[in-house]
Amino acid sequence: MPPAKTSYVCLSCRVSYKLWPDPWRERRTCPRCAGALRHAGSAFAAPPRRDRAAWRTLTVLLHAGVHFRMGCSDGPGYRPRTLREVRERLVYARRTGEPAATALCRADLP
């Protein structure tokens, strides 16, 4: 069975594309702006294009290395949805020395 399609995102255009994985292609380009597409994962659901705050949150998550991968019988896990939640987790990461990607995936902060 071939691998499933996965999501790629253009952060400047605020669009998402479901594409087949291509092991020979190192970089995907956006058909709208010819910029680089970022891999988001197979369990990614794009926010509405007009929701700038959600796209800023998504930008922080993808730059930190957080992806939306589907597990075996579970979803991608917790991901912050607002900039406030992102800020709280980044402050926690700086204070404790925990990597930002790990802190951003925490559902509850201690």
pLDDT at 24: 81
Q: For the chain, how many residues are written? A: 110
42-28-36 Cα angle (round to 5): 105
Cβ atoms of residues 101 and 65 within 8 Å? yes
Which residue do the tokens 């910029």 mark? 35
Cβ atoms of residues 67 and 95 within 8 Å? no
Among the ranges given (23-27, 69-73, 91-95, 97-101), the one the predictor scored with the smallest mean pLDDT: 69-73
Report whether pLDDT(88) > 80: yes
Mean pLDDT of 25-54: 90
